[in-house]
Structure 1
């Protein structure tokens, strides 16, 4: 064993300390994370709109069940409007990011699988069904929406196509509100 006097020059072994090694690993991790984020494909406008709409379907079904009132959706070429049956007519409902929402760069095409069967009352029936249209209202408020979510959990079965520039996305909903989002061809 060698004893060195104060101030003498000792030959240190050259190498990396643990702190230096950790700093290098952190820098490599940050650079690779940025590279992955830059390279990862971004979702198309059609995919984002279809995914957002699938969440809206579930939200509207919950609204119909909790409020015990039917809720409906009307679909135009580039917009979706939501209405609720209240006080004898269908009235517009403002939901975050859905009611009257316009979808840019995406066109919408709806195909309804089956008609939603609403019970019909006989002329002798004194029960005023909550689905019955009120006679003295404007045509816009009394017209039943194309897609109806009933308070018992049933939905008008439909498929809504979100046609983007490069791809199409489909949201399919069956009678019992099972939602499927898929990419596909026309």
Structure 2
């Protein structure tokens, strides 16, 4: 059983999981927002954010952490639109940092280091086989690397997968 202080971390990417890349016709919110001129500060893709997704993420009971190149901009621009509070933001390795094995995502080692052995979920659209292998070998705690279809973003099936894994880890 995991205590509240030991809640699993959930590392969250923005582009792909929260802002899907599929066509506007696939995203009714985006089409409706565009129709009323909601292209926001030069980034019309922000209209694709689901305003209710923050509540669904919070309901998972994880400690949410931005794991995105948006960095602090995720707190200023994305969080208020989806109902999230200010979240911690992952720092990324310097561009000249040591490279990992071929196929290892540049985020992977930093996420494992931040987790420090604690259970974690990583939600991203760029997770691959090498990331899974590396985390299995390098991280002593439970982990779920959940790849989201970037054309669709987080969907009900993703939330079912996340909640199911979290139930097995936390004993809830």
Q: Which of the five TM-score ranges fits, normalised by the shorter chain?
A: under 0.3
TM-score by length of 2: 0.27
Report which of the two has the higher share of strand: 1
Higher RCO by CA contacts (8 Å cutoff, separation 6 or greater): 2
The answer to which structure has the higher helix fraction is 2
Structure with greater Cα Rg = 1
